[in-house]
Structure 1
Amino acid sequence: MPNRSYRFTHAITRKPAASIIAGLRAVDTGTPDLATMQAHHADYIATLRETGATVIELEALDAYPDSVFVEDTALCLPSGAVVMRPGAPSRLGEAAEMAPHLAALYGDIRRIEGADSFIEGGDILMTETEILVGRSARTNAAGIAELARLTAAWGEVVREVHTPPGVLHFKTDCSLLDAETILSTTRLSASGCFKSYRLIDVAEGEEAAANTIRFNDLVLMPAGFPRTRDRLVQAGYDVREIGNSECAKLDGGMSCLSLRFTPKP
């Protein structure tokens, strides 16, 4: 499937729960404001729909404060979907909640089930030729190995890489812009993990801009990072800035808020 890693017909999102004020965070930078987050989330969904995609918006799950960050629950590929096993114990139930929604769209659903396996979608970057998975505090070697086994029959190639120390997820520091190009922080690209790709570096001091999403013809990026925005515009991308101040308080970004895919008929 050409352009499988950034052209999609569907996205799944979930409304922020009132319990999100109790969401996980690496550093406490303040309590998220639910109304502001809801407004930002509405802008995000409207922008995805503007591309012509079908956006499925699931109801809030108050039992799971972090459930707005649906990307961590699954990996959606052209041939099927894999339900993740999050490394944060409080998030294990979120993956189970997502499974039936994926089963309604895909004929082949697989699950990470090893008791010692942990893996979250935020550590997975799908490109046209491979699936990069970053080892992190939330994703371990057993989880990556299990993902590789489950997806091998679909012809997928999984490559293990490393998330920088102190960074929550691999995609906190990078995102795919097109088949050849990755936006990255210099602390991540310095590892050499993107040697075969063209790189655009985020501006110094704007590391939080690294988590964008290319969704059809648009690049969605968090608002407030003008130098990185200008670099993307100058490179020829159609950029849309989305408010992300509240999700950022919970270490969340553009990719975290959706599962993006084209289900196989």
Structure 2
Amino acid sequence: MSDRSYRFSHAITRKPSASIVAGLRAVDTGAPDLQLMLAHHAAYVATLRDTGATVIELEPLEAYPDSVFVEDTALCLPKGAVVMRPGAPSRLGEAAEMAPHLEALYGEVRRISGTDSFIEGGDILMTESEILVGRSARTNAVGIAELARLTADWGEVVREVHTPPGVLHFKTDCSLLDAETILSTVRLSSSGCFKGYRLIDVAEGEEAAANTIRFNDLVLMPAGFPRTRDRLLAAGYTVREIGNSECAKLDGGMSCLSLRFTPKA
């Protein structure tokens, strides 16, 4: 299980649909430019492939404007996958669309099925030793408890934490850099939820840089945050900057755009 949380053989992405202009957003800063988003997305997929991973790029789902953000639909673990139950009603159908693709890759796929359970992948940070799940407007305690039950026999330890007020997802404000290190905003790390981990804080005013992904030997981060980039470079990470201006208009970041995993043989 070593390096399971940042070394992967596979990723699943989904091309943005034309309906993305109707995607959910906490604050309306304008509709995303579809052509620019497509260009950013293509660069993201190419970067994942540069690491040697197999990237499965799914076709757009026009019926689901937010479906480019595939991470919210599932949690991929070494022993199997769990299909989520998104907290946004308009996104419930996205999880069902993802399930067959996971079933083609995994021997076992389980589902969050409780009608009172809500949980999205954006609230889940997997480390080498535990799964941290942030309660948020999209993920509730019932959903977290169901995930814990579903994964207990796989040897997983689920720990409930809290997403800062006004922040969409737990991973909006943090990401895993390696087995010991987490990149975080000060507003999240000051809660003490990362006790025992080494922390790198994003630069003040660059909170949107907290959502990166470590994928094999690369750290993918959104472009436009030079002081945080320099902190990562100084810490010895190999960084690749990806344009994210259009996804950011829909509260999306690097982790939201892929499911990352190594299927059990």
Question: Is residue 2:12 matched to residue 1:16?
Answer: no
Cα deviation, residue 81, structure 1: 0.1
Per the alignment, residue 250 of structure 1 pairs with 250
Shift of 1:112: 0.1
Segments of 4+ in structure 1 off by > 3 A?
Answer: none
SS for the counterpart of 1:191 is: coil
- CA distance in 2 between counterparts of 1:142 and 1:31 reads 34
CA RMSD of aligned residues (A): 0.2
Question: Which amino acid in 2 is paired with 1:96?
Answer: A
Normalised to the residue count of structure 2, the TM-score between the two structures is 1.00
SS at match of 1:56: strand
Q: Which runs of 5+ in 2 are unaligned?
A: none
1:45 deviation in Å? 0.3
Counterpart residue number, 1:240: 240
TM-score, normalised by the number of residues in structure 1: 1.00
Give the counterpart letter for 2:250 in structure 1.
L
Match of 1:149 in 2: 149
Shift of 1:106: 0.2
Q: Once the 2 structures are TM-superposed, how far is the Cα of residue 132 of structure 1 from its aligned partner?
A: 0.1
Secondary structure of the 1:240 match is strand
Secondary structure of 1:32's counterpart equals: coil
- Give the corresponding residue for 1:45: 45
Aligned position for 1:70? 70
Counterpart amino acid of 1:46?
Answer: A
Tell me the CA shift for residue 253 of structure 1.
0.0
1:186 aligns with 2:186: yes
CA distance in 2, matches of 1:82, 1:153: 13
Shift of 1:78: 0.3
Q: How many residues align?
A: 265
Aligned pairs for 1:189-208 (under 5 A) are 189-208=189-208
1:100 CA drift (Å):
0.1
Distance 1:162 1:141 in 2: 10
Q: Partner letter of residue 86 of structure 1?
A: P
Question: Do structure 1's residue 124 and structure 2's residue 124 form an aligned pair?
Answer: yes
Inter-partner Cα distance in structure 1 for 2:200 and 2:152? 30
Q: What amino acid is the match of 1:12? A: I
Aligned counterparts of 2:158 and 2:126: Cα–Cα separation in 1 = 9
**C-alpha distance in 1, partners of 2:77/2:263?**
8
Shift of residue 107 of structure 1? 0.5
Residue 161 of structure 1 deviates from its aligned partner by 0.1
CA distance in 1, matches of 2:123, 2:105: 23
Q: In structure 2, what is the Cα distance between the partners aligned to 1:13 and 1:241? A: 18
Cα distance in 2, alignment partners of residues 263 and 57 from structure 1? 16
| Distance in 1 separating the partners of 2:202 and 2:173 | 9
Residue type of the alignment partner of 1:65? P
Q: Which residue of 2 aligns with 1:7?
A: 7
Q: 1:167 maps to which residue? A: 167
Residues 70-112 of structure 1: CA deviation (Å, up to 9, x unaligned): 0000000000000000000000000000000000000010000
SS for the counterpart of 1:66 is coil
* Structure 1 segments unaligned to the other structure (5+ residues): none
Q: Deviations over 1:99-136 (max 9, x none)?
A: 00000000010000000000000000000000000000
